[in-house]
Amino acid sequence: MFESHHKALLDLEKEYTKKLFEYLSRALVPGPLTYGFEYEFLPVGKMTPAKIEKLEAALPGLGFKRHTDGSFKALTGLHITFEPGGQVEYGSPPLFGSDEEGFANLLDHIAVTNQVLEGLCGVKYRALDYCPGRALVPLCLKGGRYRDMHSLFTDNGGRGREMMKGTASIHLHVRIRSLSEMMPLFLLLQELSKDPDFAMSDSRREIWDETESSRCQLPVIGKLENEKMLLAHLVRYALGALDLSRRIPFAELKEQSFADFLIHFTTIFTDVRLNLKGPTFELRTMDSIPAKDFIKRWRRFIVEVEKTLSN
């Protein structure tokens, strides 16, 4: 029984690794190197679904148009989404590393938007890594994915509810242009995730380590020699992660498809993540910090990436 189960798991890992390799082979395109960020802010004080609705109602008047995926997007490409604890997340369009003016303009746009939302809606957003005491506050979002995740994190006895509702971070993205760039970029971001400029604060790290080990921790096991080994490692980890609604490893679901797997893949919250939008590699460890400190780290991130890819 064990041998047959083990073989089925290996066969599924091999199949999905092959399909992910083929997916990326089609999705990756050559061209200029671009970067991006997601910048989260924590609300000061109690948040409710009604306050989120009020904020969303204000955004069209600020030049943000609602899209079918629920996000709001400005003509500059800056887009806004809200998180389960009422955090606001700003996402950038792709940026060239040399475009310091474009980056600065986005940060100014974010600052002005936060200021106007505070005036219109009374919600103060601040660049903080962690606000304690939010594990038991209500969810501000009603989507099934968030409800399933919150229920799982409630029942497993960990600190996932604090992660969802009481933390904020900055995610840094670099576009993957070819399969050959995957290994050096992944290894660099793994290294940066432990660097003081990009690592989590102690408070966030404690929460993250006690959230849910099947999707939030990704140790690199053994030596990764090529991109196929890297993809196999990522696939293996995701297959072992719990399906949010059925709470069993994805590999054990009776009915599964590669399309379902790609959706499941988006629920992996490791320090470094392959993000299929782009596609990019995403460094998720950096705390939310004031813009003046973010600028320094943004510049260093670009320098580190371009130095790595030039070697």
CA quadruple 272, 257, 180, 175: dihedral positive or negative? negative
Q: What are phi and psi of 71, to 5 degrees?
A: -80, 165
pLDDT of residue 240: 93
Q: What is the pLDDT of residues 183-217, one digit of tens each?
A: 999 999 999 999 999 999 999 999 999 998 888 87
Q: Is residue 221 over pLDDT 80?
A: no
**pLDDT for 70:** 86
Tokens of 303: 């320098």
Whether the CB-CB separation of 262 and 256 falls below 8 Å is answered with no
Mean pLDDT, rounded, for 263-271: 92
Helices and strands in the chain, H and E counts: 11, 10
Determine the average pLDDT of the residues in 94-99.
Answer: 97
**Which span out of 41-45, 241-245, 266-270 was modeled with the highest average pLDDT?**
41-45
pLDDT level of residue 256 (50, 70, 90 thresholds): confident
pLDDT at 100: 97
Mean pLDDT of 291-305: 98
Q: Where are the domains of the chain?
A: 31-222+269-310
Tens-digit pLDDT profile for residues 124-167:
999 999 999 999 999 999 888 899 999 999 998 899 999 999 99
Judge whether residue 42 has pLDDT over 60: yes
Half-sphere exposure for 100 (CA within 13 Å, toward CB): 8
The whole-number pLDDT of residue 66 equals: 95
Q: What is the pTM of this model?
A: 0.94
Could you count the other beta carbons within 10 Å of the beta carbon of residue 69? 8
CA pair distance 152, 177, nearest whole angstrom: 36
Mean pLDDT, residues 100-121 taken together = 97
Give the pLDDT band (50/70/90) at residue 37.
very high
- For the domain spanning 31-222+269-310, the CATH number is 3.30.590.20
| pLDDT at residue 232 greater than cutoff 80 | yes
Question: Average model confidence (pLDDT) for the chain?
Answer: 93
Q: Is residue 1 over pLDDT 70?
A: no
311: pLDDT confidence band, cut at 50, 70 and 90? confident
- Under 8 Å between Cβ of 159 and 170: no
- Range 6-16 average pLDDT: 87
